[in-house]
A and B are shown apart, each in its own frame.
Chain A
Amino acid sequence: MNRGILLFAFNSPEYNYFKMAEFTAKRVNHFLNLPVSIVTDKNSYATSTGYAFDNVYTIDSDPNNTFQGRVWLNKGRYRSYELSPYDETILLDVDYVVNSDTLLKVFDVMDDFCCHESINFLMNEYNKKEHLDFSNVLTLPTLWATVVGFKKTKRVENIFQCLKMVQENYQHYGNIHKFSCDTYRNDYGLTIAHRIVNGHADVRSDVIPWNLTHIGPKTYVHKNNDDEFCTDYTIVYDKWMRGKIKKEYITIKNMDFHVINKDIFMELCE
């Protein structure tokens, strides 16, 4: 039974996702001792600094997606099932900072598929859970595509095939669930595909039983030392108090986190 990590990285005009992937892959090797394969396109692969991925799959990226006026190449995750060379895979976002061996536990907790449903924003207590349906009629708690563990089973193949269908018919599902279709989000696609394949049942064993930790808005991350595999970080948060911004901070160590702001993640890669 071989295990590994799968990353997707398509460079946009603003961000070098391949560089982020190399940073994350090195940390996976260091903290998890697992091989890393990557799905990318030719242009992104051309920016490689020489890190030896276990496998490199070059495919055509789909440029038809934007977020806040910028191109966001995040489509095609449904190909994870066919492309992963591993029996047990963790599909990981490149902006997830592996800072401990926590992800190894994902292999223990999953039957054949699992992902996060609950989240935690470090230092920002007002940002908790997201629901996919803004009409509150067909409301679904959002599943997060940041960390997805899967095995090669028929059910999982169906989930990824369904994800392809949802991606190709995103407007239709947006109309049903009343969310904005301007930007394709893998989180929403995965939430819908997972529900469809499971007969709209809430399958609790598919949920990773701890929170996905985000570094969210108004929150900044600084390395506490220059070690290549730094484990200590200072998190600074701009707290709004009595009409003024007061800076607060905590220090964290040996804890994984997902950085939403790509500019902050790029600084960590330097």
Chain B
Amino acid sequence: MDIQSLLSEAKARFAHNSAKDYLREKYKNKFLVADQNGLWVADVTTIATLQSFDTDKVILIDTHNRPVEIDRLSLLTKLKTVHQETMSLYLSEFKELETKR
């Protein structure tokens, strides 16, 4: 018996909330960036923090709780790219999810 017949036979219901949880878990690690001897999360908080400085060099605490001196613009560019690419994939799958019944 194929999976669709099995689900239909069992009157199984698509679990939207669980599916959203799954997507969040799936994309969690994709925001992680190892760069300039530190580990960073390409989230809006880190990006906004980097943008708020105006110096070339900045010292930040990475996700391993270590202070790291970084080249601000280089890291900012990298995090923005990863953020945009990952969010784009996330949104695409999220929209696909919303069409399911």
Residues of A within 8 A of B (CB): 102, 105, 108-109, 111, 120, 122-123, 125, 204-205, 209-211, 213, 222-224, 234, 236-237, 239, 246-252, 254-255
Contact = CB atoms under 8 A, between A and B. Distances in A.
B21 A125 contact: yes
Contacts of A125: 18, 21
B12 A236 contact: yes
Contacts of B32: 105, 108-109, 209-210
**Most chain B beta-carbon neighbours within 10 Å: one of A108, A205, A250:** A250
Contacts of B10: 236, 247
A58 to B, nearest CB: 35
B7 interface: yes
A249 B63 contact: no
B63 A209 contact: yes
Contacts, number: 75
Interface residues of B, number: 24
Contact of A123 (B6, B18, B34, B63): B18
B7 A236 contact: yes
B26 A108 contact: no
Nearest to B28: A210
Contact of B29 (A209, A222, A236, A239): A209
Contact of A109 (B12, B18, B21, B39): B39
A120 B23 CA distance: 12
Contact of A205 (B11, B12, B66): B66
B18 A255 contact: no
B44 to A, nearest CB: 18
B19 interface: yes
B7 A234 contact: yes
